[in-house]
Each structure stands twice: as C-alpha cells, then as structure tokens.
C-alpha cells in the first residue's frame, strides 16, 4: 500500500485529503506545515508528498527546496496543492523540485489520478 504525506495548515483541507486518499486505498500521514512535514519525513519515507504553499513556520516552496537537498528524499514525487495560480509561484515550485501542481478546491478523482500517475 502506498503512503502519501499531506502537508497543509488547514485542518479542513487535511481532512478532505485524508478521506479522498484513504478511499482510494492509500495510507495517509498528515503534517500541519513544512517543519512538521520534515519531522514526519524522518519517521518514514512516503511514496508521494502533497504540500500546500502558504503555511506558517515553513512554507511549501521552502519545504520542497529543503527536501530536494537531501539525497534520501530526492526521488519522492511532490505535488503542490494550492489556491495560487500565479505563474511565478508555479515556476518557483517547479525550480524547487515540485513534480506537479493542483489547484484548490481539488476534484477528488483528478487528485487520485495525479497521485497514481506520479506514484507509478
């Protein structure tokens, strides 16, 4: 069973992600921000990471940059889930090492499809 690490400061969004992903057969680990995400990574390597951009303590882009510096996590696909549709932020996310970009509110079948695509 594939494990997905979701990182979002919104409890509602974490819940929606958890429900959607668990119903699709994934195990879900949750983190509240980038710092929490780094701590969760140390506890076990997920198959895919889904992260928000705008969060306290450590934002999603800084999280991606930090993860990509570590050889052990370099190959994990990272999907950015955000309300942002700004081209500059998309470019920064891609440059940081993001695998893909999903706009909130997400469509559950599209999210599951994207996760399956990058986890393959």
CA distance 58 to 61: 8
Strand, helix or coil at 52? coil
pTM to 2 decimal places: 0.95
In the predicted model, what is the mean pLDDT of the chain? 94
Domains, the chain, ordered by start: 3-119 (3.40.50.2300)
Q: Which range has the worst mean pLDDT, 3-17, 58-72, 74-88, 103-117?
A: 74-88
CA distance 11 to 55: 12
CA atoms within 13 A on the CB side of 48: 24
Per-residue pLDDT tens digits for 44-96: 999 999 999 999 999 999 999 999 999 999 999 999 998 877 888 888 899 99
Q: Residue 86 has what pLDDT? A: 80
pLDDT bin (cut points 50, 70, 90) of residue 37 is very high
Under DSSP, the state recorded for 104 is S
Strand order in the sheet with 100-103: 27-31, 3-7, 48-51, 78-82, 100-103
């Amino acid at each position: 069973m594939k494990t997905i690490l979701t990182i979002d400061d919104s409890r509602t969004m974490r819940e929606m992600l958890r429900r959607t992903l668990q119903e699709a057969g994934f195990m879900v680990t949750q983190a509240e921000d980038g710092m929490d995400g780094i701590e969760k990574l140390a506890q076990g390597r997920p198959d895919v990471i889904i992260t928000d951009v705008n969060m306290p303590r450590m934002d999603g882009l800084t999280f991606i940059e930090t993860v990509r510096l570590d050889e052990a996590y370099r190959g994990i696909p990272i999907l950015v889930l955000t309300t942002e549709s700004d081209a500059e932020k998309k470019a920064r996310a891609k440059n940081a090492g993001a695998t893909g970009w999903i706009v909130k509110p997400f469509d559950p079948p599209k999210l599951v499809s994207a996760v399956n695509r990058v986890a393959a």
